[in-house]
Amino acid sequence: MALTLGINAYWQPEKMFRMLDVTGYDYKDRLVRFKLAIFTFVYVCITCLVMIFGIIQPMKKYLNRDRPAYRKEMRRLKDLRSREKEQSMPSGDSASCSYQCLYYMMIFQNPLVMVFILPLCMLGRVYAHCHWFGDTIVGAIIGLICSRISLRYMHVIGIPLFKFIMDISPTTSIFLSFVTMIFVFI
């Protein structure tokens, strides 16, 4: 979803510039829009990873809640439960989804993402026996709080990164986005 935020920042740059409260850039210039899309993708990925590794993972260790029992006789198209080894509470997937859904809703004024995507993600985690329903609710609440804080202070936290990306060459900014993508998917 961070990638779709970046793509939407490219196609609707005026909304992202309004959110960042920066001036002096021609958002009709393709290179400026491209770098804005890279900034959006990198900023959302980095702040979301900080939430996951700084809040969600320590809470899982502290709360130490077991996952639902793994039942081999359950037939699923894709067995997600056998891959889950850590504790259950709170759901990192629900936190990440709600984090990015709130970004989408606040920047691009599209509440449908929050109404449809977030409940499907939460129910999918329960359906796959990876989490209890309460785990997904707590994860979503944490994601919403962290997203709101990150959006509130985007002009303080994000401006140095934004100016850095605007000052580097397009090739270096593409490299930065690929490094971020590799780090996210590993």
The DSSP annotation for 14-69 comes to HHHHHHHT--S--TTSHHHHHHHHHHHHHHHHHHHHHHIIIIIHHHHHHH-PPPPP
What was the pLDDT predicted at 78?
58
Q: What is the separation of C-alpha 100 from the centre of its chain, rounded to a whole number of angstroms?
A: 4
What was the pLDDT predicted at 24?
76
16: nearest Cα among 34, 36, 30, 1: 36
What was the pLDDT predicted at 66?
72
What was the pLDDT predicted at 45?
82
What was the pLDDT predicted at 83?
61
What was the pLDDT predicted at 39?
82
What was the pLDDT predicted at 135?
83
| Helix orientation angle between 133-152 and 92-108, rounded to the nearest 10 degrees | 40
49 vs 100: CA distance, rounded Å:
11
What was the pLDDT predicted at 12?
80
**Count of C-beta atoms within a 10 Å radius of residue 67:** 17
What was the pLDDT predicted at 85?
66
Residue ranges for the chain with pLDDT beneath 70: 1, 67-85, 88, 181, 183-186
What was the pLDDT predicted at 186?
56
Q: What is the CA radius of gyration of the chain?
A: 18
pLDDT, tens digit (0-9, with 9 covering 90-100), for 95-124? 888 888 888 888 778 788 888 888 888 887
What was the pLDDT predicted at 183?
67
What was the pLDDT predicted at 81?
53
